[in-house]
Structure 1
Amino acid sequence: MNLKHLRYFVTVAELGSFTAAAEQLHLAQPAVSMAIQKLERSLSVQLFHRHERQISLTDEGNELLILAKRILMSADEATLAMKELSGLQRGEVRIGIPGMLGSYYFPPILMAFRHQHPALQLSVIEAGTRKLQQMLINGEIDIGVIVEDTPSIELDTLPFLREQMMVVMASDHPLATKTSIDIDDLSEEELVLFKEGYFHREVIDKLLLQHGIKPHIGFETNLIPLIKQIVKQGFGISTLLEMVIKDEPALIARPFSEPVLLDLCIAWRKNGYLSKANRCFIDFVAAQKTQP
């Protein structure tokens, strides 16, 4: 089985077009078609249904796509490991971070790391915890930030931060007079929440479900500045990490009566190869971690 042909196959399958795959691979379209035909002959299967203007994977093609991605990921890791043994480094850290932490916790860490290691390239992707877990497993990113209570047997984790979830409201909101907020207090309030798939949305959904509360969600958005503006104008309350509203006098943060603590972790693929750059970044974050 030819690795180059497998790469062509994965590209065609993901783009759904021989022409688009050829453009991305910087090859002539007939060359890509011939490579796929050779791969089909070597495996004695048909990988694509070829229609007049479109293609689709056969059952065999769908099965090979899963296996091909694993094979290519392992091949890339083996190549990287051998290069590093000969003194070369990839020099890139691909990290996925949820938006709240990416905006308010990680900027000084990323800048300090870059200052210490100016030759290394940082590639930061913003996504929710669930999406980041899947991207790690698929090899789309090297490192991700997830919540410890949503682990995967396919990932290794390192706790680095414990933060308290706070109820956030306008300074003149009736709940602002309380020193802490009962979960039942949320039952009558219009809520401004992140979309599903983000860690703090999952925490709130779980809390409300445990108490049999059906939430009144007025706004769903991943834009933190928009969340803060909506809350400031009194159109709802939200739940955020306390770090988000520092230097925001128009907003008040109150803890839950039963504190809601989040243990955040750096995660990477179990048994996957970590480059020197990635190991260096994990060690750097571990050195900064906040003790519970």
Structure 2
Amino acid sequence: MELRQLQLFLEVAKHKSITKAAESMHLSQPALSKSIKALEDELGMKLIIRTNKTSDLTDAGRIVLEYSQKMAAVLNEMKTTLNDITNLSMGQIDIGLPPFIGSLFFPRVMAKFHHAFPNIELNITEYGGARVVKSVEEGEFELGVAVLPIDEQQFDVYPIVEEEMKLLVYKDHPLATRNVVDIKELKDEEFIFYHEEFALNKIMRNQFIAAGFEPKILFQSSQWDLMTEMVAANLGVTILPDSICNRAFNTDLRVIDLKEDILWRLAVITKQGRYISNAGRTFIDFILKEPL
């Protein structure tokens, strides 16, 4: 068994397609299929179920995926440690970033960081918050940005943002003239809500359940601008962080305080016990000092 075979297998699992994985790795599809078949023959088990449209993992494939991810993380950590030992004036950071957060704060921060450290390459992947946390845990990302709370026994946490959550309604909504609304008053409202993979989905669901009801969800999205425009079209209400509400310039919207103290808290996270590169530590120090 070769590391290259496991790397190719990881790519197929990531894309759920041999064709797309081959394109990503700049290989021919037959060559990639041959490598996967050789791995299956060596292990004596089928790892991938091939169909016309997708390549799904078998139970054995999921086990191989788990161990392949661990091996890839260890290999990346070895390379990072060796690079730091040589005191190179360059580096690379793999960062997981939820789309909500990336569009709000990070373009300006990334630009300033790049100007300050032009030889450090930032590889940014956008995932929902829950997936970012899982990917940092599995070693896919050296750093991630996550919504708190998370398990601080597994991760080192560096807080960077704390904001209040606000209610967003259409200008003619019955609550539009109010300054403050109790979350219990939203029991019969239809919500424009966050996609399941976003940490805010779970956070706000728990708030609603604590208030005694399950939210009526009309539509789910991963794009805050689409959510605000749907509210402006009088399709429902939503609850978003203050900074997002401040960027919603549609005059048909009204922003209202919530009686409950619901906070949106963001942090840079790293896996506890993992070696963090000089480049990664430089980025953490930079973002903690740079106002977002």
TM-score, with length taken from structure 2 = 0.82
- 1:202, 1:235 → 2: CA distance? 22
2:215 paired residue number? 215
Q: What SS does the aligned partner of 2:166 have?
A: strand
Q: What SS does the aligned partner of 1:178 have?
A: coil
- 2:190, 2:40 → 1: CA distance? 57
Tell me if 1:154 matches 2:169.
no
1:270 paired residue number? 272
8 Å Cα contact 1:136-1:142 kept in structure 2: yes
Cα separation, partners in 2 of 1:148 and 1:289, compared to 1, 3 Å: farther
8 Å Cα contact 1:8-1:36 kept in structure 2: no
Shift of 1:189: 1.6
Cα separation, partners in 2 of 1:36 and 1:151, compared to 1, 3 Å: same
- 2:285, 2:12 → 1: CA distance? 38
1:239 paired residue number? 239
Tell me if 1:284 matches 2:286.
yes
1:70 paired residue number? 70
1:46 paired residue number? 44
Shift of 1:149: 1.5
Tell me if 1:97 matches 2:97.
yes
**Percentage of matched positions with identical amino acids:** 25
Shift of 1:271: 1.8
Q: What SS does the aligned partner of 1:146 have?
A: strand
Cα separation, partners in 2 of 1:172 and 1:283, compared to 1, 3 Å: same
What RMSD over aligned residues (CA atoms) do the two structures have, in Å? Answer: 3.3
Shift of 1:49: 6.7
Shift of 1:158: 1.1
- 2:39, 2:102 → 1: CA distance? 45
8 Å Cα contact 1:47-1:57 kept in structure 2: no
Tell me if 1:255 matches 2:253.
no
Cα separation, partners in 2 of 1:181 and 1:116, compared to 1, 3 Å: same
For the pair shown, the structure with the greater C-alpha radius of gyration is: 1
Shift of 1:62: 4.7
Cα separation, partners in 2 of 1:66 and 1:223, compared to 1, 3 Å: closer
Cα separation, partners in 2 of 1:90 and 1:154, compared to 1, 3 Å: farther
1:164 paired residue number? 164
The aligned length equals 287
8 Å Cα contact 2:73-2:140 kept in structure 1: no
Shift of 1:27: 7.6
Q: What SS does the aligned partner of 1:48 have?
A: coil
Shift of 1:91: 2.6
2:127 paired residue number? 127
Q: Which stretch has the larger CA shift, 189-198 or 27-36?
A: 27-36
Q: Which amino acid aligns with 1:143?
A: L
Q: Which amino acid aligns with 1:264?
A: L
C-alpha distance after superposition, 1:33-58 (max 9, x if no partner): 579758966xxx42437999999877
Q: What SS does the aligned partner of 2:283 have?
A: helix
8 Å Cα contact 1:89-1:277 kept in structure 2: no
8 Å Cα contact 2:89-2:119 kept in structure 1: no
8 Å Cα contact 2:40-2:46 kept in structure 1: no
Cα separation, partners in 2 of 1:185 and 1:276, compared to 1, 3 Å: same
1:137 paired residue number? 137
- 2:3, 2:95 → 1: CA distance? 27
Q: What SS does the aligned partner of 2:113 have?
A: helix
C-alpha distance after superposition, 1:107-158 (max 9, x if no partner): 2212211221222222222222111111112222221111221336432211
- 2:261, 2:39 → 1: CA distance? 61
Shift of 1:289: 5.4
C-alpha distance after superposition, 1:57-95 (max 9, x if no partner): 776665444223212321221122112211236632222
Q: Which stretch has the larger CA shift, 107-116 or 170-179?
A: 170-179
8 Å Cα contact 2:48-2:58 kept in structure 1: no
Cα separation, partners in 2 of 1:221 and 1:11, compared to 1, 3 Å: closer
Q: Which amino acid aligns with 1:110?
A: M
Q: Which stretch has the larger CA shift, 233-242 or 7-16?
A: 7-16
Unpaired runs of 5+ residues, structure 1, are none
Q: Which amino acid aligns with 1:251?
A: L
